[in-house]
Chains A and B, each alone.
Chain A
Amino acid sequence: EAQVTQNPRYLITVTGKKLTVTCSQNMNHEYMSWYRQDPGLGLRQIYYSMNVEVTDKGDVPEGYKVSRKEKRNFPLILESPSPNQTSLYFCASSHRPGPDRLRYFGPGTRLTVT
């Protein structure tokens, strides 16, 4: 089954404790992207990757890092999480080298930073 998986699905952590949210897709997609969703602000792009070793900043990259060492994986790293990073995070992927038909989203990771 074609899918995008994220782990963990829920996470409560404390300020400053490094964490990684994993994202993996099994469709050999080139394009992958991370979004955060906050009430009243909608979905905002954090980082995206057009292929292995090619990443670029989205609209809200501050406080986040990503890497794309393999085509299937695109982890999101918070080196020193802060409460303003409490949010619902989605990973997504597309077979095109761009988001033109972005239709596969992961199930979401709800992160709370206290």
Chain B
Amino acid sequence: EDKVVQSPLSLVVHEGDTVTLNCSYEVTNFRSLLWYKQEKKAPTFLFMLTSSGIEKKSGRLSSILDKKELFSILNITATQTGDSAIYLCAVASGAGSYQLTFGKGTKLSVIP
């Protein structure tokens, strides 16, 4: 059974701090790893990662994948209160048919 584990489950930081969110996985026929941000509504797409060692960056957010050690990290620098959300990691897998398995998410709270 495919498994995606995120840590920590929740995190409280002060504005301006840098945070690192972790995602490890065990899946059959890995295709890609995706990160989402979920505020009080549907998840919004952040990044898709398929290759090891290549950093994806968008503003203060960045992410990298390690396919050998089977994990990914999401970094957020200079956090703002608007970064408060649940961050979801998901892994797409499958050779002929495709599934997407989500982790339980990391709840990030940024306090002023």
Contacts and interface: CB of A to CB of B under 8 A. Distances in A.
Q: Do A and B come from the same complex?
A: yes
Interface of A: 31, 33, 35, 40-45, 48, 50, 56, 58-59, 90, 97-103, 105-108
A105 B102 CA distance: 14
B40 to A, nearest CB: 10
Given A40-B104, A50-B98, A58-B99, A100 B32 contact: yes
A105 B43 contact: yes
B93 to A, nearest CB: 9
Interface string B80-109: 000000001010101001111111110000
Contacts of B90: 43, 99, 102
A56 B97 CA distance: 8
A107 B104 contact: no
B88 A98 contact: no
Interface of B: 31-32, 34, 41-45, 48, 50, 88, 90, 92, 94, 97-105
Contact of B100 (A33, A40, A50): A33
Nearest to A103: B45
B103 A42 contact: yes
16 contacts: A42-B104, A44-B102, A56-B97, A59-B101, A99-B34, A100-B31, A100-B48, A100-B98, A101-B45, A102-B34, A102-B45, A103-B44, A105-B42, A106-B42, A107-B41, A108-B42
Contacts of B88: 42-43
Contacts of A105: 42-44
A89 to B, nearest CB: 11
Given A45-B100, A101-B45, 8 more contacts: A42-B105, A56-B97, A98-B94, A99-B90, A100-B98, A102-B34, A105-B42, A107-B41
